[in-house]
Amino acid sequence: LGCEGCSLFNADATNTDEIVCKATLFSCLAKILAISTMNNHPSHPIPKNTRERRGPLFPWGAEKTVNLIVKQTALPFLELLTKDNGTATPVSMKVNYCCGTMECLYLLLKDQQKWDSSFEIVDQKPTSNPQLSQHAAAILAPLVVDVLPDGKENQRVNPLRSRTLSAINAFWEWSYELVQNGKQSSIKSIDQAMNVVMPCQCLAAALNAVRAARRGKAQNNQNANASEIDISTVSRQLQSMIQNEELQSCRPKFLNLLTLLCLAYPSASAGQWHLFLEQSVVKVSPLLSILDEGTSAIGSENFEHKSWIALPSALRATSTLVTAMPFTLWISGEARPSMRMSGGNFSSRVRNALLDVLNCTLNLMTAIKDRISFGWLSNETISSHAHSMEIVMIEVSQIAGKLCTILPFYGENSVLLQPASRLVQCAGDIFVESTKMIVSKPLITEHELEHTLLYKGISSFSNVITESLGVDSSNTVKVTTCSAPAEKWLSDASSYDFIGLLLTDSCWKFPSSKNRIDMLSSVAKRSPWTLAREPFNLASFCHVCAVQCRSQNDVDSRILGLKLIESFILGRKSFLANRISNSMVFSVVPETLCPILLAALEDHVAAIRSCAVSSFGSFLKHDWVDLFLSDADSVKGQHSIYWEPLECILSLCAANEEEKANVRSSSCKAVGDICTACIGDTFREKEDDTHEDVSFSDDFVLAFTCKICEVMINALTDENASVRSMALHAIGNTALALKERCHERSAPQFPSMKHLFPSVCACLGDKDEKVVANAIRSISHIAYFVYCPEYFSEIENSTLAALHVYRSLLSDLSEIIKFALEDAAGEIPRELTWKQRNGAKKHAWGSCTTLGMLLSFSNLLPYIDDSLAESALSSLFRCIQLSNVINEKIVAAAIKALEKLPITLWHHLSCKCDSIGRGLATCFGFLQERKSKTPHNHDVESLANLLLISAKRTDFCSLFLIRESVPFSVEYFYQWLVTHDIEAGVLEEIADAVSSQKVEQILDVSVVQMFLSRTIQQNRRQGSPCKVKIASVPLDGNDEEGDEL
């Protein structure tokens, strides 16, 4: 098969004969490859013998296989046909010659573990997690030239990538030209169908492999280049072939190919939206026309129509194309000037196309709803088409959910809100109608129900509602908020039937069905005010919760009930953040739901106890006021407080009372959240119009803190690391809340905090990384109650022990930072796992914050060695010096810690060590390196100003003398002083320093003169006497103003 050098044919053979023979040989090679890969498919039994399992080609390895087949034979042959070698080979012959070669490339590019040989990629729904085969990686993945010291790979583009994709693109264009030229009048025969099928298969395999390579680690630093495949041309060709009446049987292939094109090259494909979505009086949209025809097919029950067969692929392609479109840039309104293209305003064109997509989707969903209402999905007539109907429902629900979440609905885009909200409304109506039809069916089991088409319709369209609410399939709240269409629908009367259905047991065949409870949880989590809109609704919701939690023989039902309560409590918490008032939403928790949760704390199932205790962690301040204080006005002391709820939760933190570690861990975490709610001032503002602002008394806080600390100190010795970690979380939250309370008002002593402190500090030596991380955080908060001047006493017996702990903390935290820096900079090679290295980073940035907090207690400076403070500061400065190679969070934490240190610390250390000089060198080295503004520049400049004010002659001498260890530009330092117009007093100290004998020896005379001249000028400007002797200034006859910027 070699195309260069040696020939396999005799001298009489013509060029055409050689090409025909090679094309035949490639077809044979494709059969060999197909057989070779069969042994690797999961559907075949894997032999024990490794060599037999690999097949005949795999012992070479993927790279050698690709080199022999692709590089040495296939690509030269294809490129020979592309150049045409001076002869005018007809397109039909080119396509026939290339089929065998393209089949070889197809088999190497597609992932044999993912795709069965009986199903081609182009005929299947694209997978959400494509895998890159070893052979595809050898063709497409970048080549590693070198590995840099920081572990990153220096890569270059694989030359086989562009050659292979260009060859596949050429084969596609030849096939398209062959079809368009009308050389084949029909594609019914097998040979004629290959003119379309094989190019689709090859292009689909290539696009899927490109997509997998982009998602994988191999393509990390190499963006897919749209020029490898002519996206614009291929898109126009796909549009033409989708609309070609003679190719309707292949329409699903073309639509799936469009989907893969959008997934592999989203940016370039989005630019072709107008070819598929835009329509007018004279222009038909290929995708939307199929959606309209599919809607008509549902109405007429014509499931043999070709548009119905292509409908799932059309919905998938529409969804993928819409997802790829950058709406933030295109129709963002005032944020970006309208882009204008030929044919009118670009933003208006995009909005009109989106309106058409929304209307087509709504029409399709309405047709499905009407069929459900007529009992059509329950009839046996559809049983033979149930699978295709299920796929259509899944696809249309997915595109509806995306349209409601990714589109902008503000400003000029508000025209999209009404049709989008109607999509959510229609999904709710389908949910209601399907549930009613299920109730009317003869008695069946719940297992049988799950296999009916009606149940699958409920599952599909419930995803539209949950996605619009901002809740994913696992019923966890996403970062995003509830979408505008969902909010509009829930606030409208059109949602009343949907909410009423969820809250009425009689409307359900199985009232405890997971579909119902999950949907109710989603609504409660995102829109609790919907359930509290009427007293009857809220009472019904509480009844559902109570019934679920009373199911003694059904653990799953009790868990679902508790999850439902937890969803409502979490939703109410975010509901409060939006400052929407509804007294019923707040009063129902302590009055109705809390007794259910307290009973669940004593359940014999650990999962139920864990779920119940987690809900208590989301209680608000007023909930605890109602629980602790039965009558707030009459509370005068600790004896009137009802402690039982808190004591029940605390009992679950103790190993001697709760045997399950996960319950103990959840309980400790809940205690931490309870402390934040009860003690902290985060909810000092009125939570609603019916509650007055109630703060717990100091006596209560003192008693509350003692109870917490008494249990948590024992939890710190728990054998389970997760329990110890969450105990530290609770202690840290308690200390932080107390600290915030003390900042706002005078507060009593908290001896329990001091008692805890040594035990918390001992956790720095724990083997578990999370325990150490939480210990570092907790120390920064508890230290306030040990070392702050208001609490630190020189006459206490524990003072010496506290100072010893303080010195140890400074040393230990500095070592933690040093460890992470040495590992990140590669100064000391360590064989750390990814998890260990990640833990070291977290410990480092936490240590920076805690170290800054400890150093802020300037009242302790007389009791410690200056060298200890110098070492701690040096570790913080080192974080800034290595800002280019370490984690950004460590840099940010170190800068914040240094910038917040009191000036008394710098005054104390001035002239005693080189900390101020080292700090100045670090700041100006950082500022010089990052001349462009970064988030840290302002803080570093503030720190530099603070150090300059505190520095004396000796400190500036240190600044210039340590330039070799902490490099910075003296010229930049001078320019910065001039730009910021530093006061004369600082300049005089610098002038004294540069005039000293040691500094003069290492600085150029011009540099010394520069500083001295600036000092004289600044003194003249400010009218103050100059301390620098004029005779000592070597002006050399030049005007001092000439040294200014």
Q: Are 223 and 142 in contact (CB under 8 A)?
A: no
Beta-strand relationship, 143-147 and 344-345: unpaired
Higher-confidence position of 445 and 71? 71
The average confidence (pLDDT) of the chain is: 81
Helix ranges restricted to H, 410-495: 417-440, 446-449, 453-469, 484-490
Q: How far apart are CA 338 and CA 347, in angstroms?
A: 6
Res. 1044: pLDDT tops 80: no
Query: In terms of DSSP H, where are the helices of 682-797?
Result: 698-715, 721-744, 751-762, 769-782, 784-787
Q: How confident is the model at residue 945 (pLDDT cuts 50, 70, 90)?
A: very high
Residue 221: how many other CB atoms lie within 10 Å: 11
DSSP reduced 3-state for 28: helix
The answer to whether the CB of 843 falls within 8 A of the CB of 823 is no
When pLDDT is cut at 50, 70 and 90, the band that residue 746 belongs to is low
* Residue 341: strand pairing partners: 344
The CA distance from 865 to 863, in Å, is 7
Per-residue confidence (pLDDT) for residue 742, from 0 to 100:
82
Tokens 């950082």, residue located: 926
User: What confidence score (pLDDT) does residue 732 get?
Assistant: 94
How high is the pLDDT of residue 1030? Answer: 36
Helix axes 937-950, 888-899, angle to 10 degrees: 40
Q: In the prediction, which pLDDT does 916 show?
A: 93
Average pLDDT over every residue of 847-857:
93
For residue 26, pLDDT over 70 is answered with yes
Q: Is the pLDDT confidence value at 481 over 90?
A: no
Q: How far apart are CA 404 and CA 483, in angstroms?
A: 7
Query: Of 752 and 265, which is predicted with more confidence?
Result: 265
Q: What span, in angstroms and rounded, lies between the C-alpha atoms of 603 and 548?
A: 14
For residues 469-479, give the mean pLDDT.
59
The mean pLDDT of 521-543, rounded to a whole number, is 87
As given in the structure block, the two tokens for residue 751 are 């001896």
pTM of the model: 0.79
**Around 24, how many Cα atoms within 13 Å sit in the side-chain half-sphere?**
6
Q: What angle do CA 267, 463, 410 make, to 5 degrees?
A: 55
Kindly give the residue spans of alpha helices, DSSP state H, lying in 39-86.
50-54, 62-66, 75-83
Residues 556-589 have pLDDT tens digits of 889 999 999 999 998 888 766 554 455 666 778 8
Q: What percent of the chain stands above pLDDT 90?
A: 39
Q: How far is CA 517 from the centre of its chain?
A: 28
pLDDT for 617 beyond 50? yes
Distance CA 539, CA 131 (A): 51
Using the structure block, give the residue that is written with the tokens 């909200």.
Answer: 421
Q: At what angle do helices 286-300 and 346-373 cross, to 10 degrees?
A: 10
- Structure tokens that stand for 228 in this block: 């490898």
Neighbours of 570 (CB within 10 A): 20
Give the Cα-Cα-Cα angle 569, 571, 572 (nearest 5 degrees). Answer: 65
**Residue 259 · residue 313 · CB < 8 Å:** yes
Torsion of CA 783, 786, 789, 791, to 10 degrees: 140
What is the per-residue pLDDT for 774? 95
Residue with structure tokens 């044999």?
A: 112
**Token duo for residue 97:** 């010659």
Terminal Cα-to-Cα distance of the chain (whole angstroms) = 72
pLDDT of residue 584: 65
User: Of 107-116, 295-304, 583-592, 1025-1034, which gets the smallest average pLDDT?
Assistant: 1025-1034
pLDDT tops 90 at residue 158 = no
User: Residue written as tokens 């959606």?
Assistant: 291
* pLDDT > 90? residue 222: no
Across the range 270-295, mean pLDDT stands at 90
Q: How far apart are CA 899 and CA 939, in angstroms?
A: 6
**pLDDT, tens digit (0-9, with 9 covering 90-100), for 311-344:** 999 999 999 999 999 988 888 654 444 444 433 4
Print the SS3 string covering 792-851: CCCCCCCHHHHHHHHHHHHHHHHHHHHHHHHHHHCCCCCCCCHHHHHHHHHHHHHHHHHH
CA distance 364 to 776: 57
Lowest-pLDDT range of 60-69, 116-125, 944-953? 116-125
- Residue 862 vs residue 443, higher pLDDT: 862
Q: What is the mean pLDDT of residues 460-489?
A: 78
Q: Is the pLDDT of residue 351 over 60?
A: yes
What is the CA 448 to chain-centroid distance, rounded? 38
Residue 831 has pLDDT above 80, yes or no: no
Mean pLDDT across the stretch 221-246? 79
pLDDT > 50? residue 686? no
Would you state the pLDDT for residue 52? 42
Q: Which residue has the higher pLDDT, 881 or 17?
A: 881
Residue with tokens 């001697």: 656
pLDDT tens sequence across 364-382 = 999 999 888 887 666 555 6
**Percent of the chain residues topping a pLDDT of 70:** 81
Average pLDDT over residues 399-426: 92
- Is pLDDT above 60 for 535? yes
Is residue 700's pLDDT more than 90?
no
Distance CA 931, CA 96 (A): 61
| H-helix segments, 653-720 | 661-679, 698-715
| Token code pair at residue 612 | 């119940």
pLDDT attached to residue 10: 39
Residue 58 has pLDDT above 70, yes or no: no
What is the per-residue pLDDT across 781-819, written as a single tens digit (0 to 9) for each?
A: 999 988 988 877 765 666 788 899 999 999 999 999 999
What pLDDT, on a 0 to 100 scale, did the predictor assign at position 814?
94
Contacts of 168 (CB under 8 A, 6+ apart): 102, 105, 202, 203, 206, 229
> Which one has a higher pLDDT value, 360 or 937?
360
Q: Distance of CA 239 to CAs 126, 293, 349, 395, Å?
A: 20, 17, 19, 21
Q: Does the pLDDT value for residue 520 go beyond 80?
A: yes
Question: Mean pLDDT lowest for which of 193-202, 496-505, 869-878, 1016-1025?
Answer: 1016-1025
**Segment 534-540 mean pLDDT:** 87
Interval 860-912: pLDDT, tens = 888 888 899 999 999 999 999 998 888 899 999 999 999 999 999 999 998 88
Q: Which position has the higher pLDDT, 988 or 635?
A: 988
What's the one-letter identity of residue 628? F
- Taking the C-alpha atoms of residue 396 and residue 314, their distance in angstroms, rounded to an integer, is 10
* Residue 341 φ then ψ, to 5°: -130, 175
Q: What is the mean pLDDT of residues 768-786?
A: 93
Contacts 24+ apart (CB under 8 A), 862-866: 863/803, 863/806, 864/803, 864/806, 864/807, 864/810, 865/807, 866/908, 866/909, 866/912, 866/913
Q: Which of 540, 516, 554 minimizes the C-alpha distance to 439?
A: 516
According to DSSP, residue 46 is labeled P
* pLDDT computed for residue 15 by the predictor: 73
Place of tokens 């999850």: 563
